[in-house]
Chains A and B, each alone.
Chain A
Amino acid sequence: MKIKILHLYPDLLNLYGDKGNIECMRKRLMWRGIDAEVKSYTVDDTGFDLSDVDILFLGGGSDREQKIVCNKLLEHKDEIKRYVEDGGTLVAVCGGYQLLGKYYKLADETIEGLGILNIKTEQGKKRLISNIILKPDFIEGEIVGFENHGGRTDIGIHKPLGKVVYGYGNDGKSGAEGVVYKNVVATYLHGPLLPKNPKLCDYILTNAVKRRYPDFKGLAPLDDGLENTANDYIVKRFKNK
């Protein structure tokens, strides 16, 4: 078995240890005997093609870099949309999350998004910066991470990734964080997201493997002692604050 991961614009969107998310997915596939191939698609590349991609990753960047990426991404809007509607797995973090929406309204301009999610982001006054804990309803336990975003995201009727137990979330008031839609996981959480959230990582990987290999029975268990201890440490430290 082989899974292809495509990292979009790692030359521009690479803040907050995004490398860690890619490494985490790659290693957790390999440890199960599943081949993982990671490819990058950079600003200089041509021939955008998602036909053999199993996991698409879009990370975070500074506002300036995000603007450059956005113009590039809009060229591939239809193909990414088709991929998502067809059940393709997409993980988007921070800036990547915002770009999936309708728009990101800054003080002096509005960046048009891909419109894959029916969400809208506006720049807020202060940046929302905190450790963060979420309670998801589709996997056990808590999702932990770190958030640092100026945008406030209104997710409309979308289903959030989780309820905010500690931290700010999408807009600091709705109590919701991120979006799950089909096989898209979009979130403000970095830290990076996946190494401390092995259950979420496996959820993403399972979706991707099942789409490629419909008879797939599920991922073999791993020794997640260290991952769970790291997750648990954040939960215990911040939960009742």
Chain B
Amino acid sequence: MRKLLAVWFGKALTVLGKIIGKKSSSSPGHYALKICPSLVAELGKCVKKGIVVTCGTNGKTTTNNLMATALEAKGYKVICNRLGANMLSGVATTLIQEMNIFGKVTADYACLEIDEAYTPIVFDYIKPDVMVITNLFRDQLDRYGEIDITSEIISRAIKKTPNVQLVLCGDDPLCVQFGQGRHSDALYYGISEKVLPQLDDTKEGRFCPACGAEQKYNYYHYSQLGDFYCPKCGFKRPKIDFEVKNVSLGTPMKFTINGQPMKINYKGFYNIYNLVAVYGALSALGESTDDFERLLEAYKPQIGRMQEYKFNKPVILSLSKNPAGFNQAIATVNTDKRKKDVIIAINDKANDGRDVSWLWDVDFDKIADENMLTLTTTGIRVYDISLRFKYADVKVDMITHSMADAVTAALKTDSEVVYVLVNYTALYSTEAVLKKLGGKA
């Protein structure tokens, strides 16, 4: 009865949210859990074939949503927390919205992205069949303390689900460390050739997770991802089960997975990791991947994943949440040789991380190349990001508190494209501004 009450209450809150025009991605679940704390455990009872959990610093939402799209394309009914509300309350909200008024739902699969910090709590209620860990980067330091703490939290969660099949990024030493003991049957995916110029950006996991010695690389992709090995203890990149090769970064991107050719219309090298992670998870579930490209046709990127808005010239919105994400976004902007304007918005709300010191760990100065016409800074921490550029000798053309003013000014220049790079809480307000100014998504 408590369960039903919780479901009804949550449903009522969702309806209420719609009436007042709010996106209810986690608050209905938050209150429903107060009524029935074990509500989320119902999920295990109503999913017939399997539960896939995705966690890791970057690529969670994209990987999880791609996975749901692929499974739906196979004709399955899938429960998925698509909006990226990835704490216990977000999972509860997703479940409530799928349930009927009797608190019942049937589905073949559940695809859930879970915030790393919440994995031990969520795993008290849900025992996933497959768990994908995408990568571990420095993220929101003030919330997690340090990256070592995040590793420790995930290890604790994995211990609670001894039978889970791990699917890990084999290029990330911090992910590979989870494939031990009971989980030595982990499956690995990776990119098995040198693709990008070998830059020296912040490598988080430069030290061997096993013995602490500095790791060496035969080649690396970005941050600590690559073909790593520890000269001291022998810890190294494992044998890769799902192997990407023959990468060509044009539009569309082309590559092969285990020899199977792929042609995919996404921007950004990092998306290859998201795609091969899905490929690996499908295989782990026993699903065929023969028609992998077709399975992804219906996928719509969530807002802010290099999403294009049409004005007199395209305005491309890119969300990044941490140094690794921003460095990847900057690298993607750099590959666009059109004349461009760049706008960067930095907020410091709880979901962004209140500590903005990471701005200094990002190669923001690299964004200024000969094709950049103007650079504008905005957001709550507009002065911090502006100072970051001042000390990198990059001229900021406009410092403003108004995203609308920033976009309006950029639309008037002679550029061919505008990039808007934002962090988390700046995303929805920027999207609203772009729509209000008449941009078509």
Hey, what's the 0/1 contact readout for B380-393 against A, CB within 8 Å counting as 1?
A: 00011011101110
Most buried by A among B148, B359, B384: B384
Say if the beta carbon of A166 comes within 8 Å of chain B. no
Separation in Å of the A20 CB from the closest CB of chain B?
4
Say if the beta carbon of B212 comes within 8 Å of chain A. yes
Which secondary structure dominates where chain A touches chain B? mixed
Interface pair A196/B360, CB less than 8 Å apart: no
With A17-B361, A63-B146 as contacts: A226 and B386 at CB distance below 8 Å: yes
Separation in Å of the B329 CB from the closest CB of chain A?
18
Which secondary structure dominates where chain B touches chain A? helix
Say if the beta carbon of B331 comes within 8 Å of chain A. no
Say if the beta carbon of B185 comes within 8 Å of chain A. no
Separation in Å of the A141 CB from the closest CB of chain B?
15
Most buried by A among B141, B147, B359, B387: B387
Contact partner of A16 (CB less than 8 A), chosen from B355, B383, B387, B390, is B355
Q: Which residues of A contact B358 (CB under 8 A)?
A: 16-17
Separation in Å of the A57 CB from the closest CB of chain B?
14
Hey, what's the 0/1 contact readout for B202-217 against A, CB within 8 Å counting as 1?
A: 1000110000101000
| Bound-state Cα–Cα, A81 to B161, Å | 51
Contact partner of B141 (CB less than 8 A), chosen from A15, A192, A227, is A15
Separation in Å of the A145 CB from the closest CB of chain B?
9
Interface pair B391/A11, CB less than 8 Å apart: no
Interface pair B145/A150, CB less than 8 Å apart: yes
Interface pair B356/A191, CB less than 8 Å apart: yes
Separation in Å of the B234 CB from the closest CB of chain A?
19
Say if the beta carbon of A64 comes within 8 Å of chain B. yes
| Bound-state Cα–Cα, A81 to B238, Å | 45
Separation in Å of the B224 CB from the closest CB of chain A?
13
Say if the beta carbon of A131 comes within 8 Å of chain B. yes
Say if the beta carbon of B414 comes within 8 Å of chain A. no
Interface size on B (CB < 8 Å)? 27
Q: Which residues of A contact B386 (CB under 8 A)?
A: 226, 230
Interface pair B357/A192, CB less than 8 Å apart: yes
Separation in Å of the A5 CB from the closest CB of chain B?
14
Say if the beta carbon of B354 comes within 8 Å of chain A. yes
Interface pair B361/A148, CB less than 8 Å apart: no
Separation in Å of the A153 CB from the closest CB of chain B?
17
Q: How many of chain A's residues touch chain B, expressed as a range? A: 35 or more
Contact partner of B146 (CB less than 8 A), chosen from A15, A43, A44, A230, is A15
Interface pair A17/B383, CB less than 8 Å apart: no
Interface pair A62/B384, CB less than 8 Å apart: no
Say if the beta carbon of A68 comes within 8 Å of chain B. yes
With A23-B392, A62-B147, A148-B141 as contacts: A190 and B212 at CB distance below 8 Å: no
Separation in Å of the B321 CB from the closest CB of chain A?
16
Give the contacts of A130-159 with B (CB-CB under 8 A).
Answer: 130-131, 146, 148, 150
| Bound-state Cα–Cα, A130 to B143, Å | 10
Say if the beta carbon of B287 comes within 8 Å of chain A. no
| Bound-state Cα–Cα, A65 to B208, Å | 11
Say if the beta carbon of B142 comes within 8 Å of chain A. yes
Interface pair B391/A195, CB less than 8 Å apart: yes
Contact partner of B391 (CB less than 8 A), chosen from A24, A148, A190, is A24
Separation in Å of the B306 CB from the closest CB of chain A?
26
Say if the beta carbon of A40 comes within 8 Å of chain B. no
Say if the beta carbon of A239 comes within 8 Å of chain B. no
Interface pair A131/B354, CB less than 8 Å apart: yes
With A15-B141, A65-B207, A148-B141 as contacts: A195 and B357 at CB distance below 8 Å: no
- With both beta carbons as reference points, the residue of chain B lying nearest to A61 in the complex is identified as B146
Separation in Å of the B394 CB from the closest CB of chain A?
12
- With both beta carbons as reference points, the residue of chain B lying nearest to A19 in the complex is identified as B360
Say if the beta carbon of A2 comes within 8 Å of chain B. no
| Bound-state Cα–Cα, A20 to B202, Å | 14
| Bound-state Cα–Cα, A203 to B354, Å | 28
Say if the beta carbon of A229 comes within 8 Å of chain B. yes
Interface pair B357/A62, CB less than 8 Å apart: no
With A16-B355, A17-B359 as contacts: A226 and B383 at CB distance below 8 Å: yes
Q: Which residues of A contact B391 (CB under 8 A)?
A: 20, 23-24, 27, 195
Contact partner of A146 (CB less than 8 A), chosen from B146, B206, B355, B392, is B355
Say if the beta carbon of A106 comes within 8 Å of chain B. no
| Bound-state Cα–Cα, A190 to B141, Å | 12
Give the contacts of A26-57 with B (CB-CB under 8 A).
Answer: 27, 43-44
- With both beta carbons as reference points, the residue of chain A lying nearest to B146 in the complex is identified as A62
- With both beta carbons as reference points, the residue of chain A lying nearest to B145 in the complex is identified as A127
- With both beta carbons as reference points, the residue of chain A lying nearest to B143 in the complex is identified as A129
Separation in Å of the B259 CB from the closest CB of chain A?
39
Q: Which residues of A contact B202 (CB under 8 A)?
A: 14
What 4 A-B pairs come out closest when comparing CB atoms?
A17-B360, A230-B383, A20-B360, A17-B357
Q: Which A residues have a C-beta under 8 Å from some C-beta of B?
A: 11-12, 14-20, 23-24, 27, 43-44, 62-65, 68, 127, 129-131, 146, 148, 150, 190-192, 195-196, 226-227, 229-230, 233
Q: A19-B360, A65-B207 are in contact. List 8 more A-B contacts (CB 8 A).
A: A14-B361, A15-B146, A19-B361, A68-B207, A129-B142, A148-B141, A190-B355, A233-B383
- Please, could you name 6 A-B residue pairs with CB atoms under 8 Å apart, sorted by A? A16-B358, A18-B360, A64-B207, A150-B145, A226-B386, A230-B383
